[in-house]
Amino acid sequence: MAFALRKISIEDAPYIQEYASDVRIAQYTASIPHPYPENGALDFIMSALKNWEDNVDYTFAITKDNQFCGVISLFEISWDAQRASIGYWVALPYWNQGIATFAVNEIIQFARKQNLKEITARAFDANMPSIRVLLKNKFYLTRTQIHKAVCDTVYLSHFKLKL
């Protein structure tokens, strides 16, 4: 079983559309709406490819044995301050297989090659698997804040990693 990251592509649209439409993905991310909009995946990919071309952010497909299983992005990049944020999600059929831990480690290596010195990440407190992924990759908690979600008030933890 081989995990890999590759640049997101139009061919990923059907997978993103299907997997991101699952409420269990949306409930643990701050950026995926539910219900997921029709053509949401295509719009997301087109924006991600434009941002990649403009060096604004970098979005990767996470794969297992060449099969799409999630997304990870390096975004909110400040080239002057040498820092960025990461965000990621893994499709439900691929949960609990070490894929997110692998992907975060890979994007850390990519960030180093971009000469970034700091990465931040956020996770809802209810998303303990994601928090464990960040801690395994040596991120540390910097603060927790109240976050107003669509239908609830939740706690959002902020993490940091110095490279």
Provide the residue ranges of all domains of the chain, joining segments of one domain with +.
3-117
pLDDT value of residue 76: 96
- Give pLDDT tens digits for 69-123: 999 999 999 999 999 999 999 999 999 999 999 999 999 999 999 999 999 999 9
Q: How far is CA 81 from CA 106, 115, 116, 119, in A?
A: 21, 10, 8, 11
pLDDT value of residue 145: 85
149 pLDDT higher than 80? no
pTM of the model: 0.94
Cβ burial, residue 8 (10 Å; 0-12/13-18/19+): buried
pLDDT value of residue 74: 98
Say which range, 14-18, 25-29, 99-103, 134-138, has the weakest mean pLDDT.
25-29
pLDDT value of residue 49: 98
Q: What is the CATH number of domain 3-117?
A: 3.40.630.30
Burial 138-155 (b: 16+ CB within 10 A, else e): ebeeeeeeeeeeeeeebe
Which DSSP symbol is given to 128? H
- Give pLDDT tens digits for 22-78: 999 988 888 899 899 999 999 999 999 999 999 999 999 999 999 999 999 999 999
CA dihedral in degrees (7, 8, 10, 13; nearest 10)?
160
The mean pLDDT value of the chain amounts to 94
pLDDT value of residue 148: 66
